Amino acid sequence: MIPIKTEKEIKAMKEGGKILAGIMKELAEMVRPGINTEELNRAAKALILKFKGRPSFLGHDGFPAAICTSLNDEVVHAIPSLKRVLKEGDILSLDIGMEYKGFHTDMAATFPVGRVSSEVEKLLEVTKKSLDLAIEKAKPGNTFGDIGNAIQEYVESQGFGVIRDLCSHGIGRELHEEPQILNYGRKGTGPRILEGMTFCLEPMVSMGSWKIRKSEDGQAYVTADGSLSCHFEHTLAVTKEENEVLTKTE
């Protein structure tokens, strides 16, 4: 069953989402050649604790950090490390979650490290726009299949691949709740979207094939063909007629 949140519960998630968006903004300003991903992790953990939150990812299924720092062909779940130093031309996906007042919010964004090629810039732009298109479909009366279809049609029309073996998800008192939301699919399929639902939308897009495999450390997922990957995510709540993005960074 897909949980329905009360106005009070959504208010708590909105407060947490605003804090999380501010933390992401601070982390984004740190992304540059020469910094290692563990520095970003320590900064993220310190900021979450400063705002009386708890890192959602730390300890979740044994994950040892507060954020995921996925580089280049890594799709999601890469572990921060002192040895992983960012260099000019990399792309870095930061994925961060926080529990605040008993509720989780979750967001992700991919950043260029220094200058990148026009093709890589297009990958980032297309993935971000696919999230915007998904959010437009996340309103009462539509189905979750409408969301996946909007992502898939746009991404594939731009010559990129939608990762199919990972999905978007519900969120609230638990980091991962029902439903599982595919980032591809057919219009009109899946459960109806109802007021009070809260979930994360997170298209993951590759420059090549949509197929993935586990990394050598068994933690991250990487593209099977070694192509670059991009990831954007927001937490949102469905309102009476539309939705509200709870992790806006503007």
pLDDT in tens, 100-141: 999 999 999 999 999 999 999 999 999 999 999 999 999 999
Tell me how far apart the alpha carbons of residues 37 and 238 are, in angstroms, rounded to a whole number: 34
Q: What is the pLDDT of residues 184-198, one digit of tens each?
A: 999 999 999 999 999
- With b for 16 or more beta-carbon neighbours within 10 A and e for fewer, the 77-101 pattern comes to bbbbeeebebeeebbbbbbbbbbbe
For residues 224-230, give the mean pLDDT: 98
CB 236 within 8 A of CB 138: yes
Q: Quick one: what percent of the chain has pLDDT higher than 90?
A: 98
**Phi, psi (deg, nearest 5) at residue 134:** -65, -45
Q: Is the pLDDT of residue 249 over 90?
A: no
End-to-end CA distance of the chain: 33
- Please tell me the predicted confidence (pLDDT) of residue 57: 98
CB 161 within 8 A of CB 206: yes
Tell me how far apart the alpha carbons of residues 69 and 83 are, in angstroms, rounded to a whole number: 12
- Please tell me the predicted confidence (pLDDT) of residue 73: 98
**Residue of higher predicted confidence among 216 and 172:** 172
For residues 153-172, give the mean pLDDT: 98
Q: What is the pLDDT of residues 26-66, one digit of tens each?
A: 999 999 999 999 999 999 999 999 999 999 999 999 999 99
Q: What CA–CA distances, in Å, run from 59 to 98, 173, 227?
A: 12, 16, 29
Q: Where exactly are the structural domains of the chain?
A: 7-245
- Please tell me the predicted confidence (pLDDT) of residue 137: 98
Our CA angle for 36, 160, 140, nearest 5°, is: 95
Q: Is the pLDDT of residue 217 over 90?
A: no
- Please tell me the predicted confidence (pLDDT) of residue 86: 98
- Please tell me the predicted confidence (pLDDT) of residue 141: 96
Note the CATH number of domain 7-245. Answer: 3.90.230.10
Tell me how far apart the alpha carbons of residues 167 and 182 are, in angstroms, rounded to a whole number: 5
Q: Quick one: what percent of the chain has pLDDT higher than 70?
A: 100
Q: How confident is the model at residue 218 (pLDDT cuts 50, 70, 90)?
A: confident
Q: How confident is the model at residue 94 (pLDDT cuts 50, 70, 90)?
A: very high
